[in-house]
């Protein structure tokens, strides 16, 4: 099972890429959102694009983890380790979300000509990282995609209403990417915002992992595999 996480990553990537219409919408929606702001001459159009990518990446993670609930249960019962499922699925989501983010980054750099293009791309990568954790946590909290999508819209919209100043920055997960692309504020360098984003992504992922693991254990207890070909491991899962 050494390559199990790679198998899960390949399955997840194939599943997402087969949904061409959904992937296309995840690309088009942020571009439209950014394009509307840029066409209106709004100076914060790049920050708007960052938030659009935040929603798109989080939505992709939400749908992936919700759709995989029953699949993950069967895979655990078949002997896959939970850490392989998590590592594989997160790897696929991060690669796809980061690719989409970088494509939008090229569009934003060409359209807005920001003075610090490197920090724009860094902000996009950090956004994909945070949003993958946010989408995973949302999937662990709500049972269905509709409620999760509405919740993500509210969470992303809330980022706009919180001013990037003072102690409130500590409680804004997307502070790092937004600060890197806010040219109305003095430049502070990428280290602080990047560290802030990574810490938030890890904290959110840790909470999501605890809730996801608990859900898997409860589901396994309610739906144990049948037959004599399975035995329970020390961690509570089943294996052949």
| Residue 236 within a domain | no
Q: Which string of DSSP letters, residue by residue, matches 103-118?
A: HHHHHHHHHH--S-HH
| Residue 237 within a domain | no
Average confidence (pLDDT) over 125-148:
91
Average pLDDT, the chain: 83
Beta strands per DSSP E along 82-199: none
In the structure, what pLDDT confidence band is assigned to residue 3 with cuts at 50, 70 and 90? confident
Report d(CA 216, CA 171) in Å as an integer. Answer: 29
The pLDDT of residue 221 is above 60:
no
| Residue 201 within a domain | yes
Give the rounded percent of residues in the chain with a pLDDT score beyond 70: 85
In the structure, what pLDDT confidence band is assigned to residue 157 with cuts at 50, 70 and 90? confident
Q: How many domains does the chain have?
A: 1
Of 186-190, 195-199, 209-213, give the range with the top mean pLDDT: 195-199
What predicted TM-score, i.e. pTM, was given to this entire model? Answer: 0.83
pLDDT of residue 123: 95
| Residue 206 within a domain | yes
Residues 6 or more apart whose CB falls under 8 angstroms from that of 57 comprise: 26, 93, 97, 100, 101, 127, 128, 131, 132, 135
| Residue 119 within a domain | yes
Domain limits for position 35: 4-224
| Residue 233 within a domain | no
pLDDT of residue 207: 95
């Amino acid at each position: 099972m050494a390559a199990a996480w790679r198998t899960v990553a390949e399955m997840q990537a194939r599943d997402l890429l087969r949904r061409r219409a959904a992937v296309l919408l995840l690309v088009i929606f942020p571009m439209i959102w950014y394009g509307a702001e840029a066409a209106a001459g709004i100076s914060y159009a790049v920050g708007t694009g960052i938030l659009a990518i935040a929603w798109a990446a989080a939505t992709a993670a939400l749908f992936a983890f919700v759709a995989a609930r029953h699949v993950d249960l069967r895979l655990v019962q078949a002997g896959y380790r939970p850490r392989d499922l998590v590592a594989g699925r997160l790897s696929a989501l991060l690669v796809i979300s980061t690719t989409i983010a970088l494509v939008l980054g090229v569009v934003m750099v060409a359209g807005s000509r920001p003075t610090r293009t490197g920090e724009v791309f860094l902000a996009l990568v950090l956004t994909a990282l945070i949003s993958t954790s946010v989408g995973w946590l949302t999937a662990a909290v709500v049972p269905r995609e509709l409620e999760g999508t509405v919740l993500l819209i509210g969470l992303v919209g809330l980022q706009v209403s919180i001013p990037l100043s003072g102690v409130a920055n500590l409680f804004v997960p997307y502070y790092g990417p937004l600060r890197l692309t806010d040219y109305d504020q003095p430049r502070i360098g990428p280290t602080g915002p990047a560290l802030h984003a990574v810490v938030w992504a890890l904290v959110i992922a840790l909470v999501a992992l605890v809730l996801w693991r608990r859900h898997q254990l409860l589901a396994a207890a309610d739906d144990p595999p049948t037959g004599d070909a399975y035995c329970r491991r020390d961690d509570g899962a089943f294996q052949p």
